[in-house]
Chain A
Amino acid sequence: MLPMANSVNQEINVNSKHKKSSDRISQLPDVLIHHILSFLSTKEAMATSILSKRWLWVWTSVPILDLQDTPFCRTDPNLHFRQFVDHVLILNKTASLDRFCLKFNLVDHPSYVKTWFRDAVSRDVKELDIRVHGTESFPFLKLPFALFTAKTLHVLKLSHGVELHVPGTVSLPCLKVLNLVWIKYTNDESVSRLFAGCYVLQELTLHKHAGDNTTCSNISIPTLKTLFVWFAPTGRRRHKLKINAPVLKQLNLEDNLTLEFDLEDVSSLVEANVTVSWLENRHIPLLKALSNAKFVSFHWDWYAEMKWRNFRPYRLFLNLVQMELHVGYGGWNLLSLLLEISDHLEVLVLAKNDNCRGLGFECSWKPPKYVPKCLLSSLSMVYFKGFEDLTYQLSMVKYILKNARVLKMVDISSNGDLPLDSKIDLLKKLLMFPRGSKACQLKFN
C-alpha cells in the first residue's frame, strides 16, 4: 500500500511541479502583470482575482482604472455600476493613478460622481477620460471644481453629456492634452477660464455643435502646438472662431457651420488641413493666415463666387511645398490662384471630392495669366485622384504638362466610374500632350 501511495504522491508532485514550471505568466514580476492588466478594462482585471492565489490581489495595484458601464449591467441600471465603482475605488490601493477612464450613463442624480472624481484627483491622476451619456432626467454632468485644480493632470478628455462649468480660477500646471468633444458649456467664460489655467497646453481637440451654449470659440493659447477643431453641421447659426496661437504647428479644421474667422496669430504654422462644406468669402481671412505653412490641404464640397481682390497680391505662400486641393462641385480656379502665389511648390495633389462625384460637369477652369514661377522651377510631382475625363480637367493636366519644366511625375487615377475603353482613350489622349519636362513620367490607373 505504502509504495503505491508514494508513487501517487510522486505523481502529484511531478504534476504540480510541471504546472509550476510551465506557469510562466505568474512568474512575471508584479510590475509586468500590472502592465498587462492595464490593457484590460478594470472589470476584466478584477476578474483575474479568482484565477489563483498569485492573482488574488494583483489587480488592486494596477495604476489604471478603466470603468465602463457596459450594456450587460442593464438589469438594474446603474446601481450595479455604482456599486462596482465604489468597490473598485475602495479596493484599489494605487496611490498614483496613471489613468482614470469613466464611461457611463447618468441615470441617477450625479452627486455620487463627485466622490469618484475626488478619489481620482487625490490619487494624483495623470490622465482623465470621461464620457457621460445623459438621460432625460439628467442630461448633463457638471464636473466638480476640484478637477480644475488637479496638479498632476497631463491629459483631460471630456465628451458627450458633460457640462463645462468653471466658476473660478483654473490651475492645471501639467496639462498638455485637452479634448472637449460634443460637450456643453455653461457660458463662454467657462472655456476662457479653462484655457487661461492651462499653462503648458500643447494639444487641443475641440468638437463643437450648435446647441452647446457658446457663441464664439476663442482659442488663445500661447503654448499650443496642435489644434483639431471640428464644427458639426447645423443650421445657419453664426459662430466666431478666433485663434491666437503663435507657436501652433498643426491645424486641422472642419467647418460645417457658418464660421467667422479671426486668425490673429498662427505664424508658426507648418501643416494645415482645412475641410469646409461651403467655400465662401469668409474663408479668405483663413486662407491668408495659412501663408506661412509648408503643407496645406483644402477640402470643400460647394463653392460660392469669391472676391479674390482681398487676397492678393501681398501674401505669398513662400514656404508652401505641398498643396492638396479636394474640390467638390466647383471652384477649380482656386488652383490657378494658388499656383501663382506659391513660388516654391513641389508637390501638387488634386482630387475630385467623393461627396460630389458625378457632379460639376459644367464647370470650367481658367489658366493663370502668366505661367506661375513654381511650374518653371520647383513643381516636380503632380497627383490627380478621381479624374473624370471632363474637358476642364483635361485642360488642367495639359497646361501643367506643357509648362512644368522640372516635372518628374504625373500620376492620374480615375474614380472607377469610367468604363475600360474610355479609360484607354483617355490614356492615349494624355500621352499625346506635349511635355515641358523631358524627364516627366506619366502614370495612369
Chain B
Amino acid sequence: MSEVDMAVIKPEMMKSYIWLQTADGSIQQVEQEVAMFCPMICHEVIQKGMGSSKNYAISLPQRVNPAMLSLILDYCRFHQVPGRSNKERKSFDEKFIRMDTKRLCELTSAADSLQLKPLVDLTSRALARIIEGKSPEEIREIFHLPDDLTEEEKLEPLKNTTDDPRIRLLNRLYAKKRKELKERQKLKNIEVEEERVDDRSVDDLLSFINGDNGDSKGIKNSKSKKKNRRRKDQQKTTSANEAIKNHNKEPNGLNQVCHSAEVGQKVRAGVGATSNLHDVEDNIFDNKNELDDGDIDDEIDPALKEKIDREVEDFARRLNSDWPERMQEILSFGHERKPVHFSLNGNGSLRRYANSEQR
C-alpha cells in the first residue's frame, strides 16, 4: 500500500472488535466497548484472552440466541456511552422494555447468563409489574401457565402447614381473641372497666404523661402530620391524669371525669406487657373447658387451674423465648390486683384473672 492509501484508512477500521459465537453456531463481531459492557464477555476477554479473532470467538451461553443477543447489544450500545443523563437512560429503558412477555422472559434469562445485572433488574421489574394486581386467571392467561393444581391445592395452598401445632394453636387463639374483642366492644362503657387501675399502670401512665407534657407548647404551632395525633394524645393524657387523681377517691367519680370509656381502655392498656399474655391465658382456659362455646364458668377448679398454668407455660416456651419472664410478671402482678378488685366489686369470687367476659 502506498502512503496515500494508508492515509485514507478510515478511523472506524482502527476500532477493535470482539468476536462472539451463539449456540446455533453463527459468529458475529461487535464493537469492543459495546461487548465489554457485559461482565461475562469482559471476563472472557480479560481473563482468558478470547474474542480477538474469528477462530477464538467467545462462545456465549446457550440461553443467548441471536435475537436476544441483538437486543442485549442494543441495550449495551446505548448505555455504555458515559455522557448520558439519567433522564435519557430512563426514557430509553421504558421504550426498550416494550415487548411481549415471552421475549421479556427470554431476555431476562439471556441477560442473566451474561451477568448484565442492570438489564436483569429492568426486565424483572417489568415482569413484576405485569404480575402485580392481576388475578391468577389473568396471570395464567398472560404467561400461558398450565392450570395443574388440584382443587384442594388451590383452595388451601397453605393447608399442609396447619398441621404445624404452632399454627393450630395460633389459629385457635386468634379466633378466641376475636370473640373477646367483640365482647369487649359491647362492654366498653361499663364503669368497672375503668377502675381496674393498679400501681403498675399508674406508674406507666405517669411517666408517659410526664414525658409528653413538656411538648405541649410546641405542639400547637405544629404543621406536621402528627399534629392531630398529638392533640388526641394530649386530651387523652389530661383525662387519664384526672382519672388517676380521682381513682383513690370514689369509683363513681371516675365516670364523670372520664369523657369516654376509651380512657378506661387506655388505662387498662397502661397495664403494659401483661395484658396480651393475660388474654391468651384466658383463651387457653376457654379452649380447655368449652371448645366451641364462648361462655366461661365463674368458678375455677383449682386443679384445672394448675393444669392450665402448665399448658400456658408450655405454649409460651414453644412460641417465644422470653414469655416465661412475662409469666413471672403476670403472676406477681395478679397478686397485686386482687385486693383492688375486691374492694371495688364487693364480689366474693376468688377469681385470679379478672376478665371482662364474666360480667
Contacts and interface: CB of A to CB of B under 8 A. Distances in A.
B211 interface: yes
A76 B174 CA distance: 11
B358 to A, nearest CB: 21
A144 B110 CA distance: 44
Given A36-B131, A232-B223, A235-B221, A23 B144 contact: yes
A37 interface: yes
Given A39-B125, A90-B166, A53 B143 contact: no
A209 B149 contact: no
Interface stretch (A40-48, A191-199, A424-432): A40-48
B136 A111 contact: no
A344 B109 CA distance: 52
Contacts of A233: 221-224
B275 interface: yes
Contacts of B146: 16, 19-20, 23, 52-53
Interface of A: 16, 19-20, 22-29, 31-32, 35-40, 44, 47-56, 76, 79, 82-83, 86-87, 90-91, 108-109, 111-112, 114-115, 134, 136-139, 182, 209-211, 213, 232-235, 237
Given A25-B143, A111-B326, A211-B226, A79 B124 contact: no
B153 interface: yes
In the complex, the 9 A-B pairs of residues with the closest C-beta atoms, listed nearest first: A39-B128, A24-B105, A210-B218, A235-B221, A211-B215, A22-B144, A109-B276, A235-B218, A23-B144
9 contacts: A19-B146, A28-B109, A29-B109, A35-B120, A83-B170, A211-B230, A213-B211, A232-B224, A237-B217
Contact of A32 (B124, B147, B275): B124
Contact of B233 (A48, A79, A139): A139
Contacts of A76: 178
The prevalent SS among residues of B at the interface is: helix
Contacts of A79: 174, 177-178, 181
B105 A27 contact: yes
A32 B109 contact: yes
Of the listed residues A22, A36, A48, A56, the one surrounded by the most CB atoms of chain B closer than 10 A to its CB is A36
B223 to A, nearest CB: 5
Contacts of B222: 209-211, 232-235
B218 A56 contact: no
Nearest to A115: B320
B143 A26 contact: yes
Contact of B106 (A24, A82, A87, A210): A24
B158 interface: yes
A139 B229 contact: yes
A384 B180 CA distance: 66
Contact of A235 (B102, B140, B181, B220): B220
Contact of A182 (B147, B148, B226, B276): B226
B215 A53 contact: no
Contacts of B215: 210-211, 213
